[in-house]
Amino acid sequence: MGDDQSRGPATEPRRPEIRGDDYRVPVAVRPVFAEVAGIAADFCHKHLDGEYAQLSVALTAKLARKRPSPLLRGDRRIWASAVVYALGRVNFLSDPSQTPHLATEQLARLLGVKQATMAGKGRVVMDLLGLDHFDTEFCLPSRLASHPTAWWIAIDGQLYDARTLPIEIQAELARRGLIPGVLIPSAPTPPNPE
């Protein structure tokens, strides 16, 4: 029997278990955290990408660590939609020039929640955690190098783009947590001899 049905139904690969102790989540909140983070991460893997999935778990963990955690009250699916919505706002998910891209209406429909509910709870998440479009903690790692404010640094009252500073100074600024890391300028591409 050479047909695919002889092997049984195809299954999706199992995602790693999301464990609260890996994210310093209080014991009492861990079951709720795992459920909300799981919903958000699964959605992100399916409709966005792995970077969104990782950040959704980290953002959910930050909410779980709030005292008292807002995750303990309300519908888990709505909290998961709020997490994805907040990440989308920080990373311009609704901007058609971005990849991945999802309009807010699509996001709500795919998550199975009302758009107004998702947006309202998402605003609560953003306010609780002080998130906005200039946030670097929840910026997609692939976009951090081009983030408009992640690299601004004031030295003696002068504003600099840290990416233009010598590597040694970038390294010290990164060590102090003032910039996301060190960007090594790429070497110029040699001309094609042909």
Residue whose C-alpha is closest to residue 52's, from 140, 147, 145: 140
The pair of three-digit structure tokens given for residue 26, joined into one six-digit string: 């209080």
With 70 as the cut, is the pLDDT of residue 188 above it? Answer: no
- The per-residue pLDDT for range 140-180, each reduced to its tens digit, is 999 888 887 888 998 899 999 998 899 999 999 989 988 88
Local confidence band at 16 (pLDDT 50, 70, 90 cut-offs)? low
With 90 as the cut, is the pLDDT of residue 183 above it? Answer: no
The model carries a pTM of 0.79
Pick the range with the lowest mean pLDDT from 2-6, 19-23, 57-61. 2-6
pLDDT value of position 140: 93
Question: E strands within the chain?
Answer: 152-155, 158-161
Bridge partners, residue 154, by sequence: 159
Alpha helices in 66-114 (DSSP H): 76-90, 104-111
- The per-residue pLDDT for range 93-129, each reduced to its tens digit, is 999 999 999 999 999 999 999 999 999 999 999 999 9
Contact between 185 and 176 under an 8 Å Cβ cutoff? The reply is no
**DSSP-based helix, strand, coil % in the chain, nearest 5:** 55, 5, 40
- The per-residue pLDDT for range 51-98, each reduced to its tens digit, is 999 999 999 999 999 999 999 999 999 999 999 999 999 999 999 999
Local confidence band at 8 (pLDDT 50, 70, 90 cut-offs)? very low
Question: 161 — phi, psi (to 5°)?
Answer: -90, 110
Q: Supply the DSSP string of 165-184, one letter for each residue.
A: S-HHHHHHHHHTTSSS---P
- Max CA separation in the chain (angstroms): 76
Sign of the torsion angle spanned by Cα atoms 85, 88, 93, 94: positive
The pair of three-digit structure tokens given for residue 68, joined into one six-digit string: 């008292």
